[in-house]
């Protein structure tokens, strides 16, 4: 457009005065278009840089999470092969540790597969109507033994006896509750509690999982749903898990077009809350 304008003015000087206003407008419009294009290009470049950093961090985190169980398995197996298998004092113990590290590898791989499916947008939700309180009770039964080992009471909050019909993918919501309740037990205090409550919010039900456990510092709260983020890295790995659980939870809730949040204070406990559509 700029070239055509200059070329026309050179060929026909008599047109300069008559076309100067329209030519100025053309150049002004072109400048605006170029500015918009440059701004869009910069945004795209910034986004690509962010994605590249995200990819690099993700690969680094994956390799780091896989490295620990793999190295542990390598050490235990070679100790057994080097004569430990015949030593009754260590053979069963090392085989048991090897099995636990294999289970951790399986957990990491399963969670990586799950989060890949969630982020690809290919998640097919099977939306059905169900009673949310009944689902919570099923989750409680699943984790009853874990809670007993840590002397933690798992129960419904007072006033949560009312029944609520919700519509969502039941198995995925079970996965959300499983993760939140199990985390609450893992990081809870001996003699403490894990309570689930329901709150009617017109078109939605707010489900809250609360405990009086270790709690989370304010500086960590905005990162708790990030992949592989651990508030206390050494303690988190001691209790197992892939570091992807809360990230998967967030993706599941967002796939339902709902929200999830957390509030917590160190040494006082944490409360995770998510919404689900009410029938």
Q: List 277's β-bridge partners, or say none.
A: 204
Collapsing DSSP to helix, strand or coil, 48 comes out as: helix
pLDDT tens sequence across 196-232: 999 999 899 999 999 999 898 888 888 888 877 766 6
pLDDT at 172: 93
pLDDT band at 62; cut points 50, 70, 90: confident
* pTM of the complete model: 0.66
pLDDT band, very low/low/confident/very high, at 128 (cuts 50, 70, 90): very high
Angle at 59 between CA 54 and CA 61, to 5 degrees: 90
pLDDT at 233: 54
Please give the Cα distance from 140 to 219 (Å, whole number).
31
Confidence class for position 234, pLDDT limits 50, 70, 90: very low
- The DSSP secondary-structure symbol of 162 reads S
What the chain holds in terms of domains, given with CATH numbers, is 1-122 (1.10.287.130), 127-277 (3.30.565.10)
**C-alpha span between 170 and 52 (Å, rounded):** 35
Query: What is the residue-averaged pLDDT of the chain?
Result: 83
- Mean pLDDT, residues 140-167 taken together: 90
Question: How far is it, in rounded angstroms, from Cα 136 to Cα 154?
Answer: 10
Q: Which of 222, 229, 139, 239 is nearest to 188 (CA)?
A: 239
pLDDT of residue 252: 92
């Amino acid at each position: 457009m700029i070239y055509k304008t200059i070329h026309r003015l050179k060929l026909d000087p008599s047109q300069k005065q008559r076309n100067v206003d329209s030519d100025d407008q053309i150049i002004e419009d072109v400048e605006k278009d170029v500015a918009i294009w440059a701004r869009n290009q910069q945004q795209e470049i910034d986004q690509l840089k962010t994605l590249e950093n995200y990819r690099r961090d993700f690969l680094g985190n994956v390799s780091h999470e896989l490295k620990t169980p793999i190295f542990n398995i390598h050490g235990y197996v070679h100790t057994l092969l080097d004569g430990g298998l015949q030593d009754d004092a260590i053979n069963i113990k090392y085989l048991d540790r090897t099995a636990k590290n294999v289970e951790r590898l399986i957990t990491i791989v399963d969670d990586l597969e799950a989060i890949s499916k969630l982020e690809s947008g290919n998640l097919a939700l099977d939306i059905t109507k169900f009673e949310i309180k009944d689902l919570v009770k099923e989750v409680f039964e699943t984790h009853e033994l874990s809670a007993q080992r840590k002397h933690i009471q798992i129960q419904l909050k007072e006033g949560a006896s009312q029944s609520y019909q919700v519509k969502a993918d039941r198995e995925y919501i079970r996965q959300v509750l499983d993760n939140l309740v199990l985390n609450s037990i893992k990081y809870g205090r001996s003699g403490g509690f894990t309570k689930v409550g329901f709150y009617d919010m017109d078109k939605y039900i707010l489900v809250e999982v609360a405990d009086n456990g270790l709690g989370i510092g304010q500086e960590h709260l905005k990162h708790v749903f990030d992949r592989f983020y651990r508030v206390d890295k050494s303690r988190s790995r001691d209790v197992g898990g892939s570091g992807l659980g809360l990230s998967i939870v967030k993706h599941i809730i967002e796939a339902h077009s709902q929200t999830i949040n957390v509030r917590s204070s160190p040494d006082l406990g944490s409360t995770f809350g998510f919404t689900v559509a009410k029938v």
